[in-house]
Amino acid sequence: MKPKRKTIKNSNRKTAAISFFLFGAIALAAVFTLEFLDYRSGKYSLIFSKLIRLQQKIPAAEKFNRELTAALSGRKIPFDFLKDQGGVSHFKIELPEPLYLPLSKDLRWLVEKNRGLYRLSEVQGMKEQVIYLIQVIFEKKLTHVILISKRLAVQPRPIEMPVTPARTRTGKAPRLAFIIDDIGYADLISDQLRELGIPLTAAIIPAAPYARSEAQKIHEYGLEEIIHLPMQPKDPANHHPRDQFVLTDSSAAEIQVLLQKAREVVPYARGLNNHMGSLLTSNPQAMRRVLERIKGAGLFFVDSRTSPTTLAYALAREMKIKTFKRDVFLDDEQSYEYSSGQIKQLVELARRNGRALAIGHPFPSTLAALRDAIPWLKQQKIEVVFASALLE
């Protein structure tokens, strides 16, 4: 009986040893797995970061993120940063004018070094500053939106305007309206529009980062807001993503979705005008599809006339949509003198036709010229109205 008892005892020891070994192997595998997962997610890992020291490949977009943050910190430039639900990194940078050029060079160099694509998609201005909107693309995907506010030091001097009596064919006071395009790329533009103290129509780009907040404030300030709907331009170099722009081959359903999204961002808009659109507004089939959706939504349409071959205004009238068209651009040239001259031309058109519409942007020179022209417009007995008051 003794040898049998010894055999059982030895068997129990082997089973215990095997169990201990298996338990240890499972525990070790679990530790390695958790450490590797931490390492892959960018967290510190004792095994892979310290002991084994694996060479982790950092994506180009993330590498650019770190280098840009380091460059801004090195130059002591303040910035805000957030990452949206789609994984796109948004930087908001404010700096004085002398620091803009060096930072711009740094940005381009960092993007090119990491084999990305740098795209300056919007440039606009406002009182005492100029706004630059930069898009950065890595691996054919938009990864960064960078908003730079450059503070200006010089303000233009007022230009004297002649005082002449107002005349129209009907004997009524001439009416004119101003649409300020590209609202939403910076905050506080609504405050500057309110400070002008005249009826203004703000055209808000739905996909712009501050579109929703600016739309709310413009409504609260009693100003008029419309949707500034991006449409396909002729220049193929312009960036026009399908989920933001109406394209010549956009279906009725796609246009409907764009309009619905835009109305969610700009809920008090009763109309819209086109942003870009030199190609689409010249295409009768595509423009008709757009206008059908606009009519179905009960909105009015203003033709920005970004192309001499546009058919949009004529088609809108044919389709019985309340409409009007732009007469004057205030800032084809970004100078105080040019914008002041355009305002004078607008007044002459209003006298001749009874009404006239100008479109401009919140450039410092444009807003300064408009602000200084207001007393002169009152002397001329010109009635400034919202764009909706000019509709046909």
DSSP string, 3-60: HHHHHHHHHHHHHHHHHHHHHHHHHHHHHHHHHHHHHHTT---IIIIIIS---PPPPH
Question: For each of the chain's 392 residues, which pLDDT tens digit applies?
Answer: 455 555 655 666 667 667 667 766 776 776 667 666 655 554 555 555 555 554 455 688 889 988 998 889 888 888 888 887 778 898 989 888 888 888 888 899 999 999 898 887 666 655 566 778 888 999 888 899 898 888 776 555 555 555 555 555 556 789 999 999 999 988 788 999 999 999 999 999 999 989 999 999 999 999 999 999 999 998 776 668 899 999 999 999 999 999 999 999 999 999 999 999 999 999 999 999 999 999 999 999 999 999 999 999 999 999 999 999 999 999 988 888 999 999 999 999 999 999 999 999 988 889 999 999 999 998 888 999 999 999 98
38 in any annotated domain: no
For the chain, the domain total comes to: 2
For residue 92, count other CB atoms closer than 10 A to its CB.
18
In this prediction, residue 221 carries a pLDDT of: 95
Rounded to whole angstroms, how far apart are CA atoms 297 and 85? 29
The Cα–Cα gap between 339 and 99 comes to 28
Contact indicator for 119, 143 with CB cutoff of 8 Å: no
- pLDDT, residue 171, reads 60
Q: Establish if 8 belongs to a structural domain.
A: no
pLDDT score of 122: 61
Q: Do 264 and 308 reside in the same domain of the chain?
A: yes
Q: Going by C-beta distance under 8 Å and a sequence separation of 6 or more, which residues neighbour residue 117?
A: 111, 136, 137, 138
- 145: in domain: yes
Asked if residue 264 and residue 193 are part of one domain, the reply reads yes
**Does residue 204 sit in the same domain as residue 352?**
yes
Length of the chain, please? 392
Instruction: Say whether both 109 and 207 belong to one domain.
Output: no
Find the domain containing 67 and state its range.
60-151
374 belongs to a structural domain: yes
Strand partners, 301: 272, 323
Res 354: pLDDT = 95
Q: pLDDT value at position 187?
A: 79
CATH number, domain of 306, equals 3.20.20.370
Angle, CA 48 vertex, CA 43 and CA 50 arms, to 5°: 90
Q: What is the DSSP string of 149-195?
A: EEEP---PPPPP--------TTSSPPEEEEEEEEETSSTTHHHHHHH
236 and 140 in a common domain: no
Q: Kindly state the tokens that stand for 123.
A: 């440039």
| 282 and 146 assigned to the same domain | no
Question: At 229, phi and psi to the nearest 5?
Answer: -85, 120
CA of residue 209 relative to chain centroid, distance: 5
Q: In the structure encoding, which two tokens stand for residue 369, read together?
A: 């010229």
Residue of 138, 135, 132, 144 whose CA lies nearest to 239? 135
What does the DSSP assignment read for 233-263?
-S-TTS---TTTSB-TT--HHHHHHHHHHHH
Both 147 and 115 in one domain: the answer is yes
Residues 103 and 181 grouped into a single domain: no
Q: Are both 91 and 195 inside the same structural domain? A: no
In this structure, the answer to whether residues 127 and 235 fall within a common structural domain is no
pLDDT of residue 309: 95
As a whole number of Å, the end-to-end CA separation of the chain is 114
Pairing of strands 201-204, 224-231: parallel
**Predicted local distance difference test score (pLDDT) of residue 43:** 54
CA atoms within 13 A on the CB side of 298: 4
Please check whether residues 224 and 361 belong to one and the same domain: yes
Percent composition of the chain: helix, strand, coil (DSSP 3-state, to 5): 45, 25, 35
Q: Are 191 and 127 in contact (CB under 8 A)?
A: no
Q: Are strands 355-360 and 328-329 parallel, antiparallel or unpaired?
A: parallel
Contacts of 340 (CB under 8 A, 6+ apart): 159, 161, 369, 372, 373
Q: How many CA atoms lie within 13 A of 63 on its CB side?
A: 13
**Predicted TM-score of the model (pTM):** 0.68
Q: Rounded to whole angstroms, how far apart are CA atoms 159 and 369?
A: 8
**How many Å apart are CA 337 and CA 376, to the nearest integer?**
15
